[in-house]
């Protein structure tokens, strides 16, 4: 990993006087409200009532998360499926609002997180690149300027002008990832699910992430591949069922997470006996 210029430690200063912060998350709670049926009928409502279920279920995805990210940091986010990692990224990028608590972000954050958010399957890869660029806040001129480069980076050849419904999931990720990494946001947020593809593409994606990491004010990487967290990040947080379980150096956080998962697996096996 390339050394970064030293930034003086300002953690002793009150937050409003600090100039070294890229992101500050304070006592963050995010709830989702989900209804069971899209259009509930009287029959469904009565059946639900009979089962003692409520029409709307509230999911507490994040429960009191607090951390600070200093300028120049690459922060890895780890945790099991459903732990709250994507919810945290979506809230930091402004797609979701906090139910309680606050998120402050200094600079523009990239918002293309999940695979092909906002892509239209009936349009070609190239058309979706233009839409993606506009959705990420680029001007028409900027999008036109970059569209060819973004399209070429995908290495999809003639497929780039075919409707995206004809793409494999790997081809789909190539377009999403290419759009996301060419937006040059101050705060870069990458869901590593985006870089799933063949070995060649994974390698290319990881080189691009390393390059962007050195330019962005801060980078967040959500990953189930703990190796890339250790390789690309200089700090990490572990989220478990919406709680911040541990924050620190990637090695320590990954080790604690693995120990926890191992212990959980053994406990399950013993219970099973």
Ligand X SMILES: Nc1ncnc2c1ncn2[C@@H]1O[C@H](COP(=O)(O)OP(=O)(O)OP(=O)(O)O)[C@@H](O)[C@H]1O
The footprint of ligand X (CB under 6 A) covers 32, 34, 59, 61, 79, 81-87
CB of 135 to ligand X, least distance (A): 19
CB of 99 to ligand X, least distance (A): 12
CB of 27 to ligand X, least distance (A): 18
CB of 164 to ligand X, least distance (A): 22
119/159 with CB nearer ligand X: 119
33/51 with CB nearer ligand X: 33
DSSP per-residue string spanning the chain: -PPPPP----TTS-GGG-SSEEEEEEEEEEEEEEESSSS--HHHHHHHHHTT--SEEEEEEEEEEEEEEETT-EEEEE-STTSSHHHHHHHHTTSS--SEEEEEESSPBP---STTTT--TTSBHHHHHHHHHHHTT--HHHHHHHHHHHHHHTT-GGGGGSBGGG--HHHHHHHHHHHHHTS--SEEEEEGGGG-S-HHHHHHHHHHHHHHHHHSSEEEEE-S-HHHHHHH-SEEEEEETTEEEEEE-HHHHHHHHHHHHHHHHHHHHHHH-
18/260 with CB nearer ligand X: 260
CB of 35 to ligand X, least distance (A): 10
127/240 with CB nearer ligand X: 240
34/41 with CB nearer ligand X: 34
CB of 185 to ligand X, least distance (A): 20
159/177 with CB nearer ligand X: 177
């Amino acid at each position: 990993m390339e050394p970064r210029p030293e930034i003086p430690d300002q953690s002793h200063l009150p937050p409003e006087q600090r100039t070294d912060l890229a992101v500050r998350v304070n006592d963050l709670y995010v709830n989702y409200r989900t209804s069971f049926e899209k259009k509930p009928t009287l029959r469904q409502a009565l059946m639900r009532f009979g089962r003692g279920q409520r029409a709307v279920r509230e999911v507490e995805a994040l429960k009191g998360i607090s951390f600070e990210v200093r300028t120049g940091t690459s922060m890895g986010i780890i945790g099991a499926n459903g732990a709250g990692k994507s919810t945290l990224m979506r809230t930091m990028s402004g797609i979701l609002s906090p139910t309680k608590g606050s998120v402050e972000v200094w600079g523009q954050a990239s918002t293309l997180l999940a695979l092909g958010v906002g892509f239209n399957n009936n349009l070609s890869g190239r058309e979706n690149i233009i839409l993606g660029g506009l959705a990420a806040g680029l001007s028409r001129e900027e999008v036109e300027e970059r569209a060819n480069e973004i399209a070429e980076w995908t290495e999809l050849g003639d497929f780039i002008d075919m409707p995206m419904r004809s793409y494999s999931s790997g081809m789909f990720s190539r377009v999403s990832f290419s759009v996301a990494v060419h937006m040059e946001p101050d705060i870069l947020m990458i869901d590593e699910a985006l870089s799933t593809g063949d070995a060649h593409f994974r390698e290319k994606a990881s080189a691009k992430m390393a390059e962007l990491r050195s330019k962005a004010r801060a980078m967040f990487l959500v990953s189930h591949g703990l190796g890339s967290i250790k390789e690309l990040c200089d700090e990490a947080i572990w989220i478990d069922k919406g709680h911040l379980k541990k924050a620190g150096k990637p090695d320590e956080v990954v080790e604690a997470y693995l120990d926890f998962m191992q212990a959980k697996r053994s406990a399950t096996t013993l219970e099973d006996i």
